[in-house]
Amino acid sequence: MALLSVSSPGQEKILSRRLPGFPYVSFAYRRVGADSVTGKNRMEWIFVNRTDSTLTFSYRLASGPADTVAGRVTIPPREKCVAGWLFAGDTLRTVDCTDAEFKPSR
């Protein structure tokens, strides 16, 4: 999985990954701070649907073996989905996407 680093002035570094087997989805994430109660890192991620169809797929993100988040998302054509969660690690080491379903636009 290739890792690309993009930084904006005054913002945390945004890390983009190419997802093998999912060329129609762009993925990026960044650390946006730390939770004051748990001390865990707040991570924000973005999936971008680069197709002309509505796309539904399952995903799993992990910063370590016991530190995972999983979900299923539906994204309209040429749109993005932004989400976030608390992770103990400061990078997302695993990004898996499966079970893609396409629904043609009308």
Sequence-separated (6 or more) residues with CB below 8 Å from residue 43: 29, 30, 31, 32, 61, 63, 84, 85, 86, 87, 92
User: In this predicted model, what pLDDT tens digit does every residue of 48-104 receive, in sequence order?
Assistant: 999 999 999 999 999 988 899 999 999 999 999 999 999 999 888 888 899 889 998
Q: pTM, whole model, 2 decimals?
A: 0.80
Residue range 3-104 in CATH 2.60.40: yes
Q: Cβ distance 94 to 69 under 8 Å?
A: no
Residue 40 has pLDDT above 60, yes or no: yes
Domain ranges of the chain: 3-104
